[in-house]
Amino acid sequence: MHDPEAPSVLIVGGFLTGPYNYWPLRDRILARGAARVDIAPIWPVDWVAAGFVGLGPLLGRTGRAVLKTWRAGGKQPIIIVGHSGGGLLTRLATSEVPYRGRRAAVAPQIGALVTLGTPHRLGPTSRWPAHPGHHAVRFLERNLPGARFAPTTGYLSVGSRFVALASRREPSAAGSRWRRIGGRMIEEVSTAMLGAWDGADLGDGVVPHGLVHLPGARQLTFDDVLHGHLGGPWYADDRIVERWWPEAMEVWQEALAARAEVGPPRERLRESS
């Protein structure tokens, strides 16, 4: 018997992460009343392969993970927590329009999508070639702009302005800290991955604050959070989860209420998948 007040949750991890990175987050969400928490089986080698073949295979794997959690949770709309690139993968998996020949169309199974430090926009790439993330973002902007399936799917985007604010509060200390951990290298890598951006907008240390919020979503911006997994606090730390999890529950409950009133999104339940 499934408790209708207790959601099933799927965590979709970010670039070059594996499920092990999210074991503590799984435990923290379970401690806050989730019925079950699964982690999508996406590994660093899968992300490396995506750099050559694109995000299509990861889209398919994400869609299958959504269906597995949804079925295990009694076919009640689930909550997705997408960290960084995992938020983009989940949005791709909701698309009814095929992406690179692949289509999961799992919006009906998702009651809420929570993105943590996800770059929903990317800057121009004059210094670096475009990569699969740029192609994915352009596809999403054309076919699934903003909170596409609201109100029957809730959206919450979470970001941070920590680094810029820290630099203004303690310029010398902040500058020294970022030099010690390779600030210039981080800026170069971020430029390569996310495109050109205002150097003053360091956001959570990886994703600029100007790229992190999805139009139409409920938006949370923190002043003391890093992207993860090195350094902290980051989005999955216990005291940070305590801030965004109640908001995630609210948008999920609002989406369920909207489905009760107007009906769910067009069903495509794919029982045979």
The fraction of the chain above a pLDDT of 90, given in percent, is: 64
Cα-flanking dihedrals φ and ψ of residue 94, to 5°?
-85, -10
pLDDT at 166: 53
What are the Cα distances from residue 83, in Å, to 25, 117, 236?
A: 11, 6, 9
Q: Is the pLDDT of residue 231 over 80?
A: no
Tell me the pLDDT band of 4, cut-offs 50, 70 and 90. Answer: confident
**Average pLDDT for residues 235-247, to the nearest whole number?**
98
Tell me the pLDDT band of 1, cut-offs 50, 70 and 90. Answer: low
The answer to whether residue 36 sits within a structural domain is yes
The answer to whether residue 192 sits within a structural domain is yes
pLDDT at 123: 63
The answer to whether residue 245 sits within a structural domain is yes
Tell me the pLDDT band of 207, cut-offs 50, 70 and 90. Answer: confident
pLDDT at 76: 97
Full residue range of the structural domain in which residue 199 is found: 8-262
The answer to whether residue 268 sits within a structural domain is no
Does 175 or 24 have the greater pLDDT score?
24
CATH number of domain containing 129: 3.40.50.1820
pLDDT digits (tens, 9 = 90+) for 28-79: 999 999 999 999 999 999 999 998 888 999 999 999 999 999 999 999 999 9
The answer to whether residue 227 sits within a structural domain is yes
Q: Is the pLDDT of residue 193 over 60?
A: no
Q: Is the pLDDT of residue 174 over 70?
A: no
pLDDT at 178: 46
The answer to whether residue 61 sits within a structural domain is yes
**Number of domains forming the structure of the chain:** 1
pLDDT at 252: 98
Instruction: Give me the chain's average pLDDT, please.
Output: 85
Does 58 or 126 have the greater pLDDT score?
58
What does the chain look like in DSSP terms, one character per residue? ---TTS-EEEEE--TT--GGGGHHHHHHHHHTT-SEEEE----HHHHHHHHHH-SHHHHHHHHHHHHHHHHHTTSPPEEEEEETHHHHHHHHHH-SS-BTTB----GGGEEEEEEES--SS----SSS---HHHHHHHHHHHHS-SSTTTTTSEEEEEEE-HHHHHHHHSHHHHHHHHHHTTHHHHHHHHHHHH----TT--TTSSS-GGGSPPTTSEEEEESS-B-SSSSSSBTTSHHHHHHHHHHHHHHHHHHHHHHHHH-PSPP---TT-
The answer to whether residue 270 sits within a structural domain is no
The answer to whether residue 121 sits within a structural domain is yes
